Amino acid sequence: MLEVGPWRIESVVNGHIRLDGGAMFGVVPRVLWERVAPPDDLNRILLATRTLLAVHQPSGRIVLVDTGTGGKWPAAQAERYGVESTPSAIGDALARIGASPGDVTDVIATHLHFDHCGGMTEWAEEPYGETRLRFGNARHWVSARHWAHAQKPTLRDRASFLPVDFATLAGSERHKLVAEGAASTIDDLSWQVSNGHTPGQLLPRFLGSEDRDLLFIGDLAPTTAHLPPAWVMAYDLEPLTTLGERLAVYEQLRDRDMLIAFPHDPKVGIVALTLDEKNRPQVAEVVG
């Protein structure tokens, strides 16, 4: 596992999905994006679904960021999105550090789109019946603004929200809403909020003391191919906001050495970035 100050961190691939390449790259012409993300016969590109597993060594807290699509998918829907889920991947990663799902203390949902939060819940007994939290002893963190949006999404983005993934959180003592501007109560972790992709996307930043930090960038930049500021997804509700938020993250690189963890890159999970002479982000090193 990668060490970032007091944290030991691993990017865990818990499955794959395929989404339309045009939607994933917005106004960028296919002749450009297909060089870095080759599409299949249905114009879909391969994306990983990743969970960040982070262990805070001083306290022993075990934090998961995002949980992938989960294993509750009917066959027809799974085929539509090319869902290939490996529900055991998170449990296997926990076992490698001598832990189990019951030992997880915190689950952070960057947002409640199905490819980021589906693994938070599982069928309690029979498929398509009641659900239960998969990490039943953990606090589950979602931004208050995003939670409110997920209850009443727009016509444009409502297909991205599957209530079966998160409805069981409502009213649960394990459900923790993060208010706008609130400080994190997890040691050596802070929140950044992004509003371009979806309102109130919660991005955790793992603080490395005198070392570098690590930012889980979520769908602000889902893969390394999305690092160019203007390569913005058509899925983003506020694309110009996304562009500005990316530039703000890159500006942080001037003041602090920072690693970036991606939710969807099929090849790499964590990279070190640098800025070239024109202030464009470049992958300097793959570290996870």
For the chain, domains (ranges, CATH) are 2-214 (3.60.15.10)
Residue 246's H or E segment, with its range, is helix 239-252
Bridge partners, 104 (sequence order): none
% of the chain exceeding 70 in pLDDT = 100
* 125-168 pLDDT, tens digit each: 998 899 999 999 999 999 999 999 999 999 999 999 999 999 99
Give the integer Cα–Cα distance in Å for 235 and 232. 8
**pTM (two decimals):** 0.96
Q: Which amino acid is at 207?
A: L
Q: What is the pLDDT of residue 64?
A: 98
How far out from the chain centre does Cα 20 lie? 19
Tokens of 161: 């929200």
Classify residue 105 as exposed, middle or buried by CB count within 10 Å of its CB (0-12, 13-18, 19+): middle
* 37-83 pLDDT, tens digit each: 999 999 999 999 999 999 999 999 999 999 999 999 999 999 999 99
List phi, psi (to 5°) of 194: -125, 135
> What DSSP designation does 168 have?
G
Tokens of 162: 């599957």
Give the integer Cα–Cα distance in Å for 24 and 37. 10
Assess whether pLDDT exceeds 90 at residue 279: no
* 238-274 pLDDT, tens digit each: 999 999 999 999 998 887 889 999 999 999 999 999 9
How far out from the chain centre does Cα 217 lie? 7
CA distances from 79 to 55, 120, 137, 152, 196 (A): 35, 21, 33, 26, 28
Cα angle value 93/99/102 (rounded, 5°): 105
